[in-house]
Amino acid sequence: MTLSMYQASVPVFIRMLNNLAGFLKKGEAHAKDKKFETDVLINGRLAPDMFPLSRQVQIASDVARRCVARLAGVEPPKYEDNEKTFAELYARIDKTIAYLQEFSPEQVDGTEDKPLTIEVRGKPLDFTGMTLLLFFTFPNLYFHITTAYNILRHNGVDIGKEDFLGKPPSSA
C-alpha cells in the first residue's frame, strides 16, 4: 500500500494537535489543583530566549494549517496570535483541526513534487511538497509540541510519553 501525502499529513497533524490539547488540559487542571494562576504555565518557558507555552501552541497550529493549505494550493487563513488563556488555546487548536478536516485526499495527494516557496524570517525557502512536509513541517510541529510538553512537565504537570503519543489509531 502506498502512503499518500494526505495520509501522511492531515491525520497526523490532527492527532498531534489533539494530544497537545490533552496535555494542556492536564496542565490547566494541575494549576487549579495546586492553586496557582494558570498564567504561570501559559507564560512559562524553558529558557529566557525561548517562546512561552502560548506561542509554542500557536506555532504548532500555524505549521500544520499552512502546510496543508500550501499543498492544496489555497491561501491559509490568518489567525491572531493573541491567546492568553487555556480556553483560547483550546479554541485555536479546535479551529485548526476543523480547518484541516475541510481538506480531502484529492486536494493533497499527488503534491509530492509540487514546487513550493515559503518565506521564513524574510528569506525564501524552496521545497517540493514532500520536502516541505518531511523536512520543514514535521520537525517544526514536533519541536513546538515537544517544547509545550516540556514546559508543562518542567512545571510539575503529571504527563508522560502516553500523553505525547496519544492512543494508537485503530487499524480497522
**0.85 exceeded by the pTM?**
yes
pLDDT for position 2: 79
8 A C-beta contact, residue 108 and residue 68? yes
Distance separating alpha carbons of residues 59 and 57, to the nearest angstrom: 6
What fold is seen in the domain 5-163? Answer: Four Helix Bundle (Hemerythrin (Met), subunit A) (1.20.120)
Distance in angstroms (rounded) separating the CA atoms of residues 129 and 77: 19
Domain positions in the chain: 5-163
Per the structure block, which three cell numbers stand in for 27?
496542565
Q: Which band of pLDDT confidence, cut at 50, 70 and 90, is reported for residue 15? A: very high
* Burial (Cβ within 10 Å: 0-12, 13-18, ≥19) of residue 33: exposed
Residue 31 reports pLDDT greater than 50: yes
The arithmetic mean of pLDDT across residues 71-95, rounded, is 97
**pLDDT at residue 138 tops 70:** yes
Which secondary-structure segment (H or E) carries 117?
Answer: strand 115-120
- Alpha-carbon distance of 96 to 14, in angstroms, equals 8
